[in-house]
Structure 1
Amino acid sequence: MKAAQSTQIDPNIKPKGNREKRRTALAAYFFVSPFFILFLIFGLFPMVFSFYLAFFRWDGLGEMTYVGLANFQFIFNDPVFYSSILNTFIIGLLGTLPQIIFAILIAFALNSALIKFRNTFRTIIFLPYITSVVAVAIIFGVVFNNQPFGFVNYLLSLADIDPIRWNAEYWPVKLAIATMVFWRWVGYNTIIFLAGMQSIPKELYEAAKIDGATISQQIRLITLPMLKPITLFVVFTATIGSLQLFTEPLIFLGRNLREEGITMVAYLWRDAFVYNSFGTASAAAIALFFIIIVLTVVNLLITSRMGRSKKVG
């Protein structure tokens, strides 16, 4: 009887194991808390505040004045806003489509056994991605200089072609900026495609070679179908990145940001930090947010549909 009473556990006393688990959990939350705190301050708060600010007129210093939907009416009646949307899509297409094609071809070459020093070439092709965007834009600003001594204009002069004003004409501006985007991101996408190709069984290529398939047939019949998920991922990330294009046009065109090359992010930046109109800049940011949401949904629908068709097949 006394032994039974001595083994009874007081319900008010918590087991030491639970306290240790709680301490471990608190320690884990403490170590990851800086990320969440910084995200709340520099990530979530600016996003929420921009939605709030879109309904006010504010120059960043004075009092905020509620204007309702006037900021949205202003940007939707501004032809430069529509030019920025069109420029963003054109530059994104010119910089993304050739980039993906060349990335697949370069990755296929690096994945083959014909090229020696493949690790060296992989490092070289990846270097533009880790290079400073500002440095890239400055270098290409010299390459696409308007003067006859500009590198591209000099090459054109060899073919008796007059110098082109690369930062002032409609299509040359877009081609110059798209070239910067292409040069900077083609190596990054090459590494992604290369990682995908290395997961493809080599037996498929060996069987294709035995059957007499050419390199183009191997890419078209083996590589591209097997890389479909990787390709969708690259297209998705490249689309989002092209919609956020900012540094290249800003440095190439300067603070004035001519209408021929202004992008959506550059448009809202100019409204905020050149014209001190943070309300219209926030309205433009919200418009860009919904455009990205629509494109993301379309991409997810296409991806899910292709996934279902693959399962059915």
Structure 2
Amino acid sequence: MATSTTSPQLNRGGPTDPGRTPRRVGFSQTLGRWDVKLSPYLYISPFFILFALTGLFPLLYTAFVSLHDWNLIGGKGEFVGFENYTYVLQQPNFWKGIRNTFSIFFISTIPQLILAITIAAMLDANLRAKTFWRMGVLLPYVIAPVAVSLIFGKLFADQSGIINTLLGKVGVDPIGWHAQVLPSHIAIASMVDFRWTGFNTLVFLAAMQAIPRDLYEAAVLDGANRVRQFFSVTVPMLRPTIIFVVITSTIGGLQIFDEPRLFDQVGQGGPSRQWMTATMYIYEVGWGNQKSFGRASAVAWILFLIILIVGIINFSITRRISSDESSKKARKKVVR
């Protein structure tokens, strides 16, 4: 029987040769490996660097300032611990600011979401000049908040405002938009809705265009009209987008400043602070008569914690609703 023999020279330098000398990796290959590993982090690093400089550092520094008797003119004072927080929580104007902030937030957010979804559904239909209408919806968002506030402040003027003039034509007595609590909140909420409804409309429109058209075709075959399609197909598919818009609206709504600050020429939230928000109170404490950066920082941190708690509650509720709807659909499929 013939046996095959392999020459040692054929295996020399082979991958299984124990005596093989490892080949050195070139600099370009090493650089390529490091590029594959590090390039993703380098691409996203500008955001985190900017966030650390403009977001994280001011947040931590504000916490440091809130624990000191820090004056606008005198500068840093002695360490006072939580004395600034205790002082702020005992002030009636602080609680007025929190009340007004939540009131304006609720009055503006709910109609804003309803209008945004409705307008987005209309723009998602077969309309002529779609680009024109979409750009027109976004136009209020790009207008300066100062201009919007000044115009709406004149529209809702107590004596010579257009709104009161129109109400007088139909027999309604003039409303004290600047003198009463609830009317002032409604007027400011209308400014917020005017500015932000268009932006949220485009967000919902982008989500609607991502919905598969097969679902609508199946709904039409089942005999569903446009209203039924909207509530049975569009709204359930928009649930993640609705969660996103609700959370962002909550964060922005609780930080409202421009609209109430410029609602009148004085800019103090009314004679009895009837529309002064929490951010306006921060401005009053830090740059007003008190000029106390320590107390203003304490108010800012309290507002930050309130926004964080409300955001977590918002997210948990909307997520639970979404999970319950998903479980119901899964049960229906199992039953079928």
**TM, length-normalised to structure 1:** 0.87
| Alpha-carbon distance in 2 for matches of 1:226, 1:68 | 49
* RMSD across aligned positions (CA): 3.0
Written as runs of structure 1 = structure 2, the 5 A alignment for 1:178-193 is: 178-193=189-204
Aligned to 2:331: none
Aligned to 1:246: 257
Aligned to 1:122: 134
1:300 is aligned to 2:315: yes
| Alpha-carbon distance in 1 for matches of 2:247, 2:195 | 17
Moved more, 156-165 or 271-280: 156-165
Unaligned runs of 5+ in 1: none
1:285 is aligned to 2:300: yes
Aligned to 1:96: 109
Aligned to 1:108: 121
| Alpha-carbon distance in 2 for matches of 1:15, 1:79 | 68
| Alpha-carbon distance in 2 for matches of 1:33, 1:222 | 39
| Alpha-carbon distance in 2 for matches of 1:130, 1:193 | 18
Written as runs of structure 1 = structure 2, the 5 A alignment for 1:3-152 is: 15-19=27-31, 38-62=50-74, 63-113=76-126, 115-148=127-160, 150-152=161-163
Q: CA, structure 1 residues 28+226, in 2 after alignment: closer, same or farther (shift >3 Å)?
A: closer
Deviation of 1:125 (Å): 0.6
User: Which SS does the other structure have where 1:68 is aligned?
Assistant: coil
Q: Is this contact kept in 1: 2:268–2:276, CA < 8 A?
A: no
| Alpha-carbon distance in 2 for matches of 1:19, 1:207 | 54
Aligned to 1:233: 244
Written as runs of structure 1 = structure 2, the 5 A alignment for 1:161-200 is: 161-200=172-211
| Alpha-carbon distance in 2 for matches of 1:158, 1:255 | 30
Deviation of 1:159 (Å): 2.0
Written as runs of structure 1 = structure 2, the 5 A alignment for 1:206-285 is: 206-253=217-264, 254-258=266-270, 259-274=273-288, 275-285=290-300
**TM, length-normalised to structure 2:** 0.81
Unaligned runs of 5+ in 2: 1-11, 14-19, 329-336
> Counterpart of 2:278 in structure 1: which amino acid?
M
Q: CA, structure 1 residues 21+168, in 2 after alignment: closer, same or farther (shift >3 Å)?
A: farther
User: Which SS does the other structure have where 2:152 is aligned?
Assistant: helix
Q: CA, structure 1 residues 260+311, in 2 after alignment: closer, same or farther (shift >3 Å)?
A: same
User: Which SS does the other structure have where 1:44 is aligned?
Assistant: helix
